[in-house]
Structure 1
């Protein structure tokens, strides 16, 4: 069995973020723009457009944080195509709390 390991020697920084109804796009310091399905990040998917657009860069561009949605996404996750690692149980608890207060 073989496996592929990707090593990022110099990880680019996130410069800006754009979110549509179904896509998260990040512009990187190396000139790339990477877009991933919003469905990969259920908290973003279930957030309002106002909540989705209320983000800030963390770690000088190593990631993005959404305070209202309690979500953090690293540039490495986006580059490597990794979706949210949150368990279904944790997400369901968050969603239930959100619906109870909303």
Structure 2
């Protein structure tokens, strides 16, 4: 049996931030969110700065002017974060 695998390009059509989470809506209808604190620069950004996220490079990148930060959509969706999850204290 032959299987045909098609890879869908991961492209964002919009992005927004609320309560220190950044959300992406992808062209296939999925909504993906991640904690801003998983990235060094975004972890230091204010809530107002996080809200100014822009989708750039034809949906392949996220951009913040202040702070000066760029992330790839594919990298974020793949879970390539800079920092580990904070330890939970029991």
Superposition RMSD in Å: 1.9
**TM-score, normalization by structure 2:** 0.73
**TM-score, normalization by structure 1:** 0.65
User: What residue ranges of structure 2 are gaps of 5+ in the alignment?
Assistant: 1-5, 84-90
List per-residue Cα deviations over 1:28-86 (Å, max 9, x = no partner): 0111111112221232221112211222222111011101111111111121111138x
- Runs (4 or more) in structure 1 with deviation over 4 Å come to none
The whole-number CA distance in structure 2 between the counterparts of 1:56 and 1:22 is 16
Q: Does 1 or 2 have the higher relative contact order (CA < 8 Å, sep 6+)?
A: 2
1:19 equivalent in structure 2:
17
Task: Pick closer, same or farther for the CA change 1:66–1:38 going to 2, 3 Å.
Answer: same
User: What residue ranges of structure 1 are gaps of 5+ in the alignment?
Assistant: 1-7, 86-102
1:78 equivalent in structure 2:
76
Q: How many residues align?
A: 78
Question: Which one has a larger percent helix, Structure 1 or Structure 2?
Answer: 1
Question: Which one has a larger percent strand, Structure 1 or Structure 2?
Answer: 2
- Map 1:1-102 onto structure 2 (within 5 A): 9-84=7-82
